[in-house]
Structure 1
Amino acid sequence: MTFAHYPKFYDSLWTTLEPVGSEVFASACGSLRDTAEAEAGKLAQPGIVPRLERMGYGRREPDEIRAGNEAFPDGNMPYVLLATVARLLLEGHDWPGQGLLEPRQTSVLAGDRPVLMDAHHADASTAAVYADIRETLGLSFVNTDYLAFARWPSYFAPAWANLKVAVTGPGYADAVRTVHRAATDLALALPNPAGLTSGVLQAAAQEDAEPDEVLSVVRLCQWLLPGLAVNVAFLRAQLVE
C-alpha cells in the first residue's frame, strides 16, 4: 500500500511541499544519497564485474546495469524525505524549517521506465530469489528496484547473495539507522513556506481512513526506504571496477 491510497492525505502533503522543486531540496537529496553511499561503503562489497565477465558479459551489459541502478536514487531520495516529513507531522511534531526557496537551476529529466521482471514472469530461480528477499527483509512484497535488477537474472542472483550477507551481518542495522537519522534532520531543515502543520495533515488523513492506519503505512514506508537506499548503494558499489 502506498500514500496514493489515501488521496486527501497525499494531496495535502504534496500540494504544500513547495521545496520539492527547489535547490535546497535537491541539495538535501544529494546529501542523503551521499550518506547512504558512505554507509554502504562500510559494508563488505565483493566486486561483481569480474564474475560477470567470466560468465560472458561484455562491456555493454554491466554499463546497462549501472545505468539501471543510477535511475533509482533520483526517485528514492525525494520519497524518503517526503515520507519523513509525513511521519513527523502525523506523529504531532512541528516542522519549523525556514529559509529561502530558490528554484532548481537544472531540471531533472525523466528517464525511461525501468523494465521490470514481475513475479508472474519470473522463472523458478528468480522466483526463489524474490522469496529470499521477502524472507530476509521481512516484506510481503519485492521493491520495484529489485524487480528492475532481476531483468539480468544471472547478475542479480549473485548480487543479491552478496547483499544478503551484508544485510544479515554486523554493521547493517547501524548503517540504516544513520540514514534514517540523516533523513529526519534533513527533512526538518527543509523550508515550510506553506506552513503545513501537524493538525492539517492529520485532518486530511482522517478523511481517508482511521488516523492510526495511515500513520502505520507512513511509518512502514519511512523506515523501509532508508534500508532500500543503503541496499541500492551497496549493489551500485559492487559494480565499480
Structure 2
Amino acid sequence: MANPRQVSEHEAQGEVERVLHEMRQTLRVTGLDVTVRTWAGFERFLVAMWEAMGPNTETRAFEAAADEVRAQAVEAAERLGRLGAWEAAVLGDSQRYHVRGALELYHYLNPKMLVFTSAVKLALQDEHVGALQPLGSAERVERGAPARMMAMEAVDERPDDARLRGLFKDIQETVGPPALPGEFRGLALWPGYLEAAWERLKPRMRTEEWARACDTLLETSRRLARRLPYEVALSKERLEVLREDAELIQRVTVQSEWRLPVLVLGMATLVGDVGDLERRLPFPAEARLVPDFVVAEELR
C-alpha cells in the first residue's frame, strides 16, 4: 500500500500553513516530523486535531512529559552501551559540529512527538485523555525554537545517490511505516556518519533488550498523555464527522505511535555515543511571561 501524501511547511497553504506554523512555534522546534507532515494531508483533521491538542502542547506539563520520556530513553541507551559510530565516522570539525546540532534537534523533538501522538491515538480510540483543568490554568512555556537549535534540513527522500537510496530502503523496512523518518534524511547530509551509525544501530534494534525498552517507553508515553492538564476533545465520532479518510488517519496514527519509541531510543543512543552532548534537557524551556494577546500577534 502506498504511503499517504505528506505536506511540508513549504507546500502548505491556508489553514494547513497556519496550523503547521503554530505547531512549530509551540513545540519549540525548527521543523516538524513526518507524522505531522502526514496528518497535514488531511486538512480538516489537522485543524481539528490541533484545536484539541494545542492547549496541552504549550504547557509545562507537556514539556515535562517529553523530558521524562527522553530521560528514560537515555537510561535505556546507557544500559545498552556505546555504539561506536561517532569515533568510526570520518568527519571534519565543521561536519561534527553540524551533526551534533542535528542530533540535538531530533533528540528534543522525538519525545515530544511520542507523547503528542500517544494523546491523539488514545483519543481517537475513545479513551479519555487529559484532566479537566480550566483552560489557561496550567503553567505555559515560551514559544519558538531556541536560538542555538539547528535548522531542520534533509536530503530528498529519493536521492540521486544509489548508496543512499539503498540505505533509506533498509532503514524504512527496519523501522516500518508510515514513511522514512526525517532524522535519517537529515543525517544523510553526512552519508559517512549515517552509514556508520546505521550499521551499528540496526543490529541493536533487533535485540530483546531494545524491544523491551521501546515497550516501556510506549507505556510511559501513554501514561503521561492521559495525565496532560486539559481534556483532548477528539474521538472516533468527531473523526467521522470531519469526512476525512478516517481509516487511513487511524492507521497512520497507530503506525506512528508504535514506531516513535524506536526513534526516540535510536536518537538517545546516537546522542549518548557522542559523549558530551546534553542528554536529558537539550533545550530547557523558560516559563512564558508574555500576555496572550502579544503571543497571538507573534503566531500570525
Instruction: Tell whether 2:89 aligns with 1:59.
Output: no
Higher RCO (CA < 8 A, seq sep 6+): 1
Which of 221, 224, 227 is matched with 2:262 structurally?
227
Given the alignment of the two structures, is residue 9 of structure 1 paired with residue 45 of structure 2, yes or no?
Answer: yes
Q: Do 1:80 and 1:225's aligned partners in 2 also have CA atoms closer than 8 Å? A: yes
Identity of paired residues, percent?
Answer: 21
- 8 Å contact 2:178–2:255 — kept in the other structure? no
Q: Report the alpha carbon displacement of residue 11 of structure 1 after superposing the two structures with TM.
A: 1.7
Q: Please report how far the alpha carbon of residue 140 of structure 1 lies from its aligned counterpart in structure 2 after TM superposition.
A: 6.3
Which residue of 1 is the match for residue 79 of structure 2? Answer: 42
Partner of 1:5, secondary structure, is coil
Aligned residues: 235
Structure-2 residue corresponding to 1:69: 103
- Deviation track 1:157-192 (CA, whole Å, cap 9, x = no partner) reads 011000001111231111111110111011111111
Distance between the aligned counterparts of 1:65 and 1:97, measured in 2? 39
- Structure 2 unmatched runs, 5+: 5-37, 277-300
User: 1:135 Cα shift?
Assistant: 2.4
Partner Cα separation in structure 2 for residue 49 and residue 73 of structure 1: 16
- Per-residue CA deviation, residues 189-210 of structure 1 (Å, 9 max, x unaligned), is 1111xx43454x6314542334
The residue that corresponds to 1:32 in the other structure is 69
* TM-score normalised by the chain length of structure 2: 0.71
- Taking structure 1 as the reference length, the TM-score comes to 0.86
Structure 1: state its 5+ residue gaps.
none
Q: CA deviation at 1:94?
A: 1.2
Are 1:190 and 2:232 an aligned pair? no
Q: Does structure 2 conserve the Cα–Cα contact (< 8 Å) formed by 1:62 and 1:239?
A: no
Q: Take 2:232 and 2:86, find their aligned partners in 1: how far apart are those partners?
A: 47
Q: Which residue of 2 aligns with 1:172?
A: 210
Q: Distance in 2 between matches of 1:205 and 1:34?
A: 37
Contact 1:98 1:189 in 2 (8 A): no
CA distance 1:15–1:141, change in 2 (3 Å): closer
